[in-house]
Amino acid sequence: MDADPAALARAVVLRQLTNSPKSRLQLARKLAERNIPEDVAGAVLDRFEEVRLIDDAEFAQMWVRSRSQTRKLAKGALRRELAEKGIDEETAAGALEQVSDEDEEALARELVVRKLRNARGLEDRAERDKSVRRLVAMLARKGYQPSQAFRIVGEAVAAALEEADSDA
């Protein structure tokens, strides 16, 4: 006996939303994995949107807040992640407005300073260059622009060297 596809779809969506908030596209993909017919999936997802259990704008806001704070991601990386989750450009842009350029820069600086605390041998040019490359690469993976990453890392390394000189 086959279960009612709509009942199965509702159960799948509810279970997914219990674990964590999801975008409509993520839920549609889950339903497709479970071989729920597209028309049934669409109707169930429409109903969940009507009762505001699915809200891509709210999801995008939450995603940006969470990922910018916990992972220190730049707007570029956040925009890519939202697109992968099916969030349209306009909704993503609205959610990204909550991260100012100053906030983004402060998050990058915080990351770099934390990594530099354990850095050794910055006085040696080769070691310093290696640290700079690693730190810039880390920021690039988090979506920061190369020019911004080099500037922030350069300023932080200079400050670390000054601090080391004043301690000596």
Q: What confidence tens digit (pLDDT) does each residue in 32-75 have?
A: 999 999 999 999 999 999 999 999 999 999 999 999 999 999 99
Distance CA 149, CA 14 (A): 41
> What was the pLDDT predicted at 1?
40
> 134 and 118, same structural domain?
yes
> 146 and 122, same structural domain?
yes
Number of domains making up the chain: 3
> What was the pLDDT predicted at 2?
58
> 115 and 63, same structural domain?
no
- Final residue before a domain boundary, out of 96, 127, 157: 96
> What was the pLDDT predicted at 168?
61
The length of the chain is: 168
> 108 and 148, same structural domain?
yes
> 85 and 41, same structural domain?
no
> What was the pLDDT predicted at 122?
85
- Final residue before a domain boundary, out of 42, 72, 96: 96
CA 75 to chain centre: 8
Identify residue 32 by its one-letter amino acid code.
Answer: A
Any residues with CB less than 8 A from the CB of 110 and at least 6 apart, and which? 72
- Residues lower than pLDDT 50 in the chain: 1
> 136 and 115, same structural domain?
yes
Query: What tokens appear for 88 in the block?
Result: 């349209």
> 31 and 75, same structural domain?
no
> What was the pLDDT predicted at 41?
97
> What was the pLDDT predicted at 63?
97
> 123 and 74, same structural domain?
no
Q: How many CB atoms lie within 10 A of CB 110?
A: 12
CA trace torsion 10, 15, 17, 23 (10° rounding) = -60
Range of the domain at 139: 101-167
